Structure 1
Amino acid sequence: MTNNDIFKKLRVAHKLRDTDIIDILKLVDFRIGKTELSAFFRKEDHPKYVECGDQILRNFLNGLVIHLRGPMPKKGEKPNKETSRKVKPNPYDNKKDFNKS
């Protein structure tokens, strides 16, 4: 599976448009144009197809984490509602341990 395949699958799974992906990449200070981005989503036999490099996919994944969870608070800073990360609660935290009697 290539980086392009992974990028395409993430795009579909999260229902992202080109502008959404560009905004996500901006979260990690990575700038890319719509035409450069669309070249990654073309078929391999298309003349304008471009292979997605590791750096672009890595930056997209890092930006996606920030987009979904929010920015991480800086060291020494107390997290507040605006800067705290949005993490889903663990559903197993409230379950009883049935092994203990």
Structure 2
Amino acid sequence: MNNNDVFKKLRVALQLRDDQIVAILELVDFRISKAELGAFFRAEDHPNFMECGDQVLRNFLNGLVIHLRGTKENPTNAMDVIEKNRAAIKSQSAPTDRPAPSKGAPAPRPKAKKPAAKGPSQNKKFDKAKKPAPIVEQVKYNNGKNKKG
């Protein structure tokens, strides 16, 4: 079992999304993009597969400790954090009220809409959405080193 397998299994077991993993790595001042992260989770025969190094996994595990346990000054319960992640995932992938089409039936056609009148936006779907609150707390991680400012 290599580092990629460990990373994949932790991601599935803790139900973490890519943006949450990036935020966890930022807790220990380790910056990584979602694209680089996605390369770790690809199949080994994929051309963009990248081997997960020891440093990446080590920093993820250190950040995961802070994410789940909190800091010495602000401790948290790990199960509360995991339940909060589950709730966030369920709220984003809520099922729709529409029944699934049967195999033999053709898909229903959408009805044509009338053009909207000029002026303020009538469709709130396209209005600017508020950014959701971050799931991961921002914690300063100093690695036990005193830095001169």
Instruction: Please report the TM-score for the alignment, with normalisation by the length of structure 2.
Output: 0.50
Where do residues 1-101 of structure 1 align in structure 2 (5 Å cutoff)? 1-73=1-73, 83-84=74-75, 86=77
Identity %: 67
Higher normalized contact order (CA 8 Å, seq sep 6+, divided by chain length): 2
Quote the Cα distance in structure 1 between the aligned partners of 2:37 and 2:22.
Answer: 8
**What amino acid maps onto 1:37 in structure 2?**
L
**Which is higher, the Rg of structure 1 or of structure 2?**
2
Quote the Cα distance in structure 2 between the aligned partners of 1:19 and 1:85.
Answer: 21
* Equivalent position of 1:79 in the other structure: none
Please list the CA deviations of residues 48-80 of structure 1 after superposition, one character each: whole Å capped at 9, or x if unmatched: 00000000000000000000000134xxxxxxx
Q: How much does 1:85 deviate?
A: 5.1
**Structure 1 portions without partners, runs of 5+:** 74-82, 89-101
Query: After the TM superposition, which parts of structure 1 deviate over 6 Å for at least 4 consecutive aligned residues?
Result: none
Root-mean-square deviation (CA, aligned residues, Å) is: 1.5
Quote the Cα distance in structure 2 between the aligned partners of 1:55 and 1:63.
Answer: 12
Other structure's SS at 1:36 match:
helix
Instruction: Please report the TM-score for the alignment, with normalisation by the length of structure 1.
Output: 0.73
Quote the Cα distance in structure 2 between the aligned partners of 1:72 and 1:25.
Answer: 19
The count of aligned residue pairs is 79
